[in-house]
Structure 1
Amino acid sequence: MPVLTDGPWTERILGGFDLETTGPEPESARIVTACLAYFHDGKLSKRTWLLDPGCEIPEGATEVHGISTEKARAEGMDYAAGLAEITNCLAWLWGQGAVVSIYNGSYDCTVMAAESNRIGANKLWRPGPVVDPYVIDKYWDPDRREKRTLGMVAAHYDVELANAHDAGDDTMAAMRLAWVLARKFPEVGALSVPELMDAQAKWHRHNSDSYRDWATTKAAKLRARIEELTQRAAELERRAANPDSGWPLRAGVQTS
């Protein structure tokens, strides 16, 4: 039976989800591996998928997650069938009242929606309740200067992550981070599911606005530096065109 409460989201079943894909742009990336797990009543359930994306996996992507085109073609599921299974398993878990931890969830959820639309599996795909440790950490601890990769954030909170970019290990780390952050920041852990979803949308906008302001300022400084360097280069070129070739007097100086 679904475990539904009107209380804090931490009273729900906690799930975790992660995708490894063919590229960094979620609107065009295809799924290569996936993992869905959930923890309930002291028991962990976990399932992983390897899909044949039906296209070449770029070398850069293979370097990240370790899956080559040849391996995906030889061992991977039919893409449409695999996507349908992942979609159905997610729907089932959300149907049980779970909150699913997805690190940088806007990427994975966008991939799922875009791919569902592309192959016509589910044109109205929408995520259920999600907790995103990336959004929470960045909003609640904004002054930390280190990168916010899953590996770096997991290390900061002493969360185990054996193999970054392995879908199974990333999923487990995302679940553990959700648990840790709910206790590190009690205001977050006390939110109901609707409050959590609304708050994360607001926090994400805040994080995005902060990044925009930083990037705009940084770009302006770089442009100013470029202008300064351009002027300096022009001055050096002028001097190079008219070198001082005379000694001990400069060439062209009249002595009588």
Structure 2
Amino acid sequence: MGTATMTAVLGAALDLVLPRDCAGCGRPGPTLCPACSDELAGSALDETGPVAPVPVPAEWPGCSGTLRYEGVSARVMKSFKDDGRRDLTDPLARLLADAVGRELMRHPAGGGPVLLVPVPSDPSAVRRRGDRPTLVLVRRVAHLLGPAVEPAPVLTMARRTADQAGLGRQARQDNLKGAMRVRTPESVRGRPCVLVDDVLTSGATLGEGRRALRAAGSGSVGMAVCMVTPRRSPPPALPFRRPAD
């Protein structure tokens, strides 16, 4: 079979299994159409420094993010997480790698690589989705950043929790309190970590993951996300600010 024929056959096969519409607007075409790509770029955070939800959770160290979670960016993330759009892995991983890179500058490590720790997924979500979306991103980020980082899916759920989507800030914190643990504490003991999630909302998930890592004896724990949730009330400013020194 010639090269041209093989290419045509593979293209036809891919048409059967890969999405051929824009994840941002649903129109037929590439994974992200030019208009949605432009809107995604326009949702970049105004500041590249560490951010925090308001009110700031106790002992919040700051978190690096890249985009606001709204409009096209929110639809893209939901498509990746809930609709199986793994063709979005590379663009989302590049956004996350940008945030992780800034955390590495904030928490420089001496010696070995920094552990990239994805927040754990609820077991029922893993069964429904067939994989762990945040772990998928972490592995791609590690490939992009090279030997400075090492994927480390060491966190697991210690107990069942309610779905965070319908909960307020305090309820989210109560729901997750003591809910995570490190499978093998010796794997993180003394090691610098960057804890990774897809979206920062109340900070409850990242805060609990950081607590579990520190309880297991980790070194410094930075935090990075692709996106942060903006205020839903009229003021245009994000409800995130630099933590007080």
Fold similarity call, TM over 0.5: no
TM-score (norm 2): 0.31
Higher relative contact order (CA 8 A, sep 6+): 2
The structure with the largest alpha-carbon Rg is: 1
Larger proportion of helix: 1
TM-score between both structures, scaled by the size of structure 1: 0.30
